[in-house]
Chains A and B, each alone.
Chain A
């Protein structure tokens, strides 16, 4: 998810490093401050950078662009996002918190478990908007409706705060 920086005191490099030039989306969404970070690509004191990835400069725009691109190519976005946000656990780099996030998915790690932050709201609303668009394209066809609704629910329900840390039937627990 982000490059594991080399030596200087051993701190991993900031997550904004792969979107250096794109400006973060302006007031397109109603939510309040988005924590604009000035220290892209420098050392920082963040214990688990995974929690701040979705807050970094340009990530929202790149997310929308990536979805737009892939949406044109295939309809596998909800499936792909589900894998990355709710299935894969832990971090791809060593963290100095002695493995606190080892059993947490990326969604649970975001913003250290604080619910309803700006990034979380953004990532919840985007699939809904996509759903509206898809329903529009498919002209409210019944089969498409069932498939789209199921995939929307599978992406929306794990994001509820009641399901923080819940593992149904012990799947994906360890």
Chain B
């Protein structure tokens, strides 16, 4: 900018151009050449480096042999031999034309066939029709959705809740909404497949700790703390999360929540608790693991559960503080980009919540039944019971594996088939074997519901014992 003493006369400036110092003009010449170079340079991507020569590429193409479109599959693959269920999977289930007692469906509180729930769903069906035909942001929000979110928040005693229309998508959308690239998640090895997919979508650094081993988790947290002290600026922008399940689906064990909360405050990480199996099961009023241990629900940053187990509906929900849940309304991929829950299912869930609130006694009944069958199934030669005594979904694993997984699976399938012949419907726990991070050993998953009577439990236990003795001689 010209100072007050100099004058802005064009003539003077042009004169100065002629008298300009040489270095200045040379620099300007270089800059003009630079401009010309820029204008003629091509655009290119930085990482575009192919380390293969054309000849090598040709060789690779020659060598490649296509795999068959349909790979050879053994005839006894479970996907080819499925059971056909006619009618609802309620207490008595009709499998392949035979009526069995259902020990396989996660109908913990027996609400699947409850007449009140069915009536509420029918009334809602008559009022709203079947589907919502839109995501929540695009005319897919109905009053029943807001109602259900309100009721769930009140039931769990949190500030807010958010509904997803598919149980698997709930935790798989919630994790990547908060944890991004560069963040660190400490997760249990026995986490279910939905959590694993959520972690994969989040692109964060995953650190697995041994199942329910708080010492291992503390070791990992300490290592991270040392790293953080070496690089405090990086640590300040890194978020840390701990993801655990209340009752693990793959093992039937409970997470040690009090120790986790202590670790959370010591190492400044946030806890995401997945309560699919423990919602409506544990605790005096069915509020889950936090009630079971008597922990303040505000200590847990996010609780996620699906409504497909105890609540006998479809979908899932997350609940927690308002500012945490509100973030998912724009960042939860399964919330923004999927059609919302059909109103009849939301109404069914509300009615199921009503029933849960009216009869808090069913949770104690369920616990007692779990304990009973757990005790009855101890001592079977060849099979061991894996899971807590109060867990309604536990596993029966082979005490000694035969060495190959297929052989184990075949043995267990034999047990399941023979039990089915004796009118006890059981199932094996199925996994996508190539996709699981830590594949659990093959097992039979037994589910206890409130509707099973004592005689039925005793009969089931003795049937399993007999069959196991025959098959696992």
Do the two chains bind?
yes
Residue of A nearest to B21 (CB): A140
Of the residues A115, A128, A137, contact of B43 by C-beta under 8 Å: A115
Is the interface on chain A under 10, 10 to 19, 20 to 34, or 35 or more residues?
Answer: 35 or more
Determine whether A86 belongs to the interface, using a CB cutoff of 8 Å to chain B.
no
Residue of A nearest to B45 (CB): A114
Interface residues of B in 3-41 (CB under 8 A from A): 6, 8, 12-13, 16-17, 19-21, 24, 27-28, 31, 34-35, 38-39, 41
Residue of B nearest to A29 (CB): B39
Q: Please, how many angstroms separate the alpha-carbon atoms of A97 and B45 in the complex?
A: 19
Q: Is the CB of B137 within 8 A of A10?
A: yes
The interface on chain B, measured as residues whose beta carbon lies within 8 A of the other chain's beta carbons, has a size of: 44
Determine whether B330 belongs to the interface, using a CB cutoff of 8 Å to chain A.
yes
Q: Please, how many angstroms separate the alpha-carbon atoms of A30 and B16 in the complex?
A: 30
Given A131-B31, A136-B17: A174 and B237 interface contact (C-beta under 8 Å):
yes
Chain A residues in 8 Å Cβ range of B27 = 149
Q: Is the CB of A7 within 8 A of B137?
A: yes
Q: Please, how many angstroms separate the alpha-carbon atoms of A116 and B44 in the complex?
A: 7
Residue of B nearest to A125 (CB): B35
Q: Is the CB of A10 within 8 A of B336?
A: yes
Of the residues B12, B44, B203, contact of A139 by C-beta under 8 Å: B12
Q: Is the CB of B35 within 8 A of A145?
A: no
Of the residues B1, B17, B236, contact of A75 by C-beta under 8 Å: B1
Determine whether B293 belongs to the interface, using a CB cutoff of 8 Å to chain A.
no
Chain B residues in 8 Å Cβ range of A113 = 45-46
Q: Is the CB of B176 within 8 A of A98?
A: yes
Interface residues of A in 1-45 (CB under 8 A from B): 7-10, 29-31
Determine whether A124 belongs to the interface, using a CB cutoff of 8 Å to chain B.
yes
Q: Is the CB of B181 within 8 A of A100?
A: yes
Q: Is the CB of B39 within 8 A of A30?
A: yes
B338 nearest CB across to chain A (Å):
11
Of the residues A111, A121, A140, contact of B16 by C-beta under 8 Å: A140
Determine whether B77 belongs to the interface, using a CB cutoff of 8 Å to chain A.
no
Q: Is the CB of A98 within 8 A of B180?
A: yes
Residue of A nearest to B183 (CB): A99
Determine whether A87 belongs to the interface, using a CB cutoff of 8 Å to chain B.
no
Q: Is the CB of B43 within 8 A of A10?
A: no
Q: Please, how many angstroms separate the alpha-carbon atoms of A75 and B41 in the complex?
A: 30
Determine whether B210 belongs to the interface, using a CB cutoff of 8 Å to chain A.
no
Q: Is the CB of B181 within 8 A of A99?
A: yes
Determine whether B224 belongs to the interface, using a CB cutoff of 8 Å to chain A.
no
Q: Is the CB of B176 within 8 A of A10?
A: no
Q: Is the CB of B28 within 8 A of A132?
A: yes
Of the residues A10, A98, A164, contact of B203 by C-beta under 8 Å: A98
Chain B residues in 8 Å Cβ range of A29 = 39
A73-87: contact bitstring with B at CB < 8 Å (1 yes, 0 no)?
001000000000000
Q: Please, how many angstroms separate the alpha-carbon atoms of A125 and B176 in the complex?
A: 40
Q: Is the CB of A173 within 8 A of B330?
A: no
Chain A residues in 8 Å Cβ range of B44 = 114-116
Given A164-B46, A174-B233: A140 and B20 interface contact (C-beta under 8 Å):
yes
Determine whether A62 belongs to the interface, using a CB cutoff of 8 Å to chain B.
no
Q: Please, how many angstroms separate the alpha-carbon atoms of A121 and B34 in the complex?
A: 11
Q: Please, how many angstroms separate the alpha-carbon atoms of A136 and B12 in the complex?
A: 10
Determine whether A154 belongs to the interface, using a CB cutoff of 8 Å to chain B.
no
Interface residues of B in 324-341 (CB under 8 A from A): 330-331, 333, 336-337
A101 nearest CB across to chain B (Å):
9
Residues of A in contact with B (beta carbons under 8 Å apart): 7-10, 29-31, 75, 94, 96, 98-100, 102-103, 111, 113-117, 121, 124-125, 128, 131-132, 135-140, 142, 145, 149, 161, 164, 170, 173-174
19 pairs, CB–CB < 8 Å, chain A vs chain B: A8-B138, A29-B39, A75-B1, A98-B176, A102-B237, A114-B45, A128-B31, A128-B34, A131-B31, A135-B20, A136-B13, A136-B17, A137-B13, A140-B16, A140-B17, A140-B19, A140-B24, A173-B233, A174-B234
Residues of B in contact with A (beta carbons under 8 Å apart): 1-2, 6, 8, 12-13, 16-17, 19-21, 24, 27-28, 31, 34-35, 38-39, 41-46, 135, 137-138, 176, 180-182, 201-203, 233-234, 236-237, 330-331, 333, 336-337
**7 closest residue pairs by CB, A with B:** A99-B180, A139-B16, A140-B20, A10-B336, A7-B137, A98-B203, A99-B181
User: 11 extra interchain contacts, Cβ-Cβ under 8 A, other than A102-B237, A115-B45, A136-B17?
Assistant: A8-B137, A9-B137, A9-B337, A29-B39, A30-B39, A98-B176, A98-B181, A99-B180, A114-B46, A115-B44, A139-B12
